[in-house]
């Protein structure tokens, strides 16, 4: 079978792009960790004004980092045209995925009667960043302004509204399931990096542990053992890492690149290469956790 006649596999294509980014991201730098000069907010669709979710966040962050796009606004060729903009000639699109529901009839094996059924299937869509279009300035002025807030104050309020038990002390950040408690080193012990302040480092680490906390049986009941078996620990760490990135984007914080990322990357690459849908599952679970945690803030 010729390459041109092979069916396009959106799961494999997005996974390949993320694997490539991980393999070339640098010693401790991950595709979803942006420096302060770039756009770290969640990618937003220009037509709906809604943020992307799940694997599309990761896919577009990877693309934005690879091409150094400063904006978090994306849209299809037609969506940009509808906004009075024009994608520049020669610009390459980025891949996102959306799911459509297919209705079908099937016969009940026991009664023999026809029943209605539904099946979800993935469809690829190709989008362009605002940096790739002409006439973007006029559109940008029409978009709602980002709400002004003190990132540290909001992060403190966010952590409090989760109702998680957070104890500062010791030299390790971790979630202890048997005690349903998050343990964090004292905040004064955190140090900054070239792109992250000590305060941001503390809260980004806390977000990582809060994502772990969200997966407890009494909350989101995130059991990965059935799907990933011995790889479930690596996938849970990827979920926590992605979830922390999503939360930091929502809270206006930079994500702290930690030294332990290097050993995690090797495990993540192994899982992603062996299962083309693993990153979809991880990103979906991370998005679910981040949204669940953020919603607790708005409900408080």
Task: Check whether 31 has a pLDDT greater than 70.
Answer: no
Q: Are strands 133-134 and 166-168 parallel, antiparallel or unpaired?
A: unpaired
Task: Check whether 104 has a pLDDT greater than 70.
Answer: no
Task: Check whether 34 has a pLDDT greater than 50.
Answer: no
Write phi, then psi, for 96 (nearest 5 degrees). -130, 170
Cβ atoms within 10 A of the Cβ of 84, count? 13
Task: Check whether 279 has a pLDDT greater than 50.
Answer: yes
What pLDDT digit, counting tens, does each position of 60-71 carry?
A: 988 888 888 888
259: helix, coil or strand?
A: coil
Residues 279, 242: contact at Cβ < 8 Å? no
- Nearest Cα neighbor of 206 from 150, 279, 258 is 258
pTM: 0.73
Q: What is the pLDDT of residue 95?
A: 93
What pLDDT digit, counting tens, does each position of 237-246 carry?
A: 999 999 998 9
What pLDDT digit, counting tens, does each position of 154-194 carry?
A: 899 999 999 999 998 877 899 999 999 999 988 887 776 66
40: helix, coil or strand?
A: coil
Q: How far apart are CA 202 and CA 156, in angstroms?
A: 11
């Amino acid at each position: 079978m010729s390459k041109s006649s092979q069916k396009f596999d959106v799961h494999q294509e997005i996974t390949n792009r993320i694997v490539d980014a991980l393999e070339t991201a640098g010693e401790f730098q991950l595709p979803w960790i942006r420096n302060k000069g770039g756009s770290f907010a969640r990618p937003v669709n220009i037509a709906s004004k809604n943020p992307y979710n799940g694997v599309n966040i990761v896919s577009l962050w990877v693309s934005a980092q690879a091409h150094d796009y400063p904006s978090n606004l994306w849209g299809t060729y037609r969506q940009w045209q509808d906004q009075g903009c024009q994608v520049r000639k020669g610009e390459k699109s980025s891949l996102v995925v959306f799911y459509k529901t297919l209705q079908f009839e099937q016969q009940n094996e026991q009664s023999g009667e026809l029943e209605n059924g539904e099946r979800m299937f993935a469809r690829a869509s190709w989008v362009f960043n605002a940096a790739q279009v002409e006439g973007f300035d006029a559109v940008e002025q029409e978009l709602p302004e980002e709400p002004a807030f003190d990132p540290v104050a909001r992060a403190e309020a966010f952590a409090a509204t989760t109702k998680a038990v957070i104890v500062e002390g010791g030299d390790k950040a971790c979630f202890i399931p048997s005690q349903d408690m998050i343990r964090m080193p004292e905040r004064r012990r955190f140090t900054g990096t070239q792109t992250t302040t000590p305060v941001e480092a503390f809260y980004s680490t806390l977000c990582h542990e809060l994502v772990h906390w969200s997966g407890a049986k009494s909350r989101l009941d995130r059991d990965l053992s059935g799907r990933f078996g011995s790889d479930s620990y690596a996938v849970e760490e990827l979920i926590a890492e992605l979830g922390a990135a999503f939360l930091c984007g929502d809270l206006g914080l930079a994500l702290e690149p930690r030294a332990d990322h290097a050993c995690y990357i090797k495990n993540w690459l192994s899982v992603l290469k062996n299962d083309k849908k693993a990153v979809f599952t991880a990103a979906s679970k991370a998005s679910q956790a981040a949204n669940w945690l953020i919603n607790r803030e708005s409900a408080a």
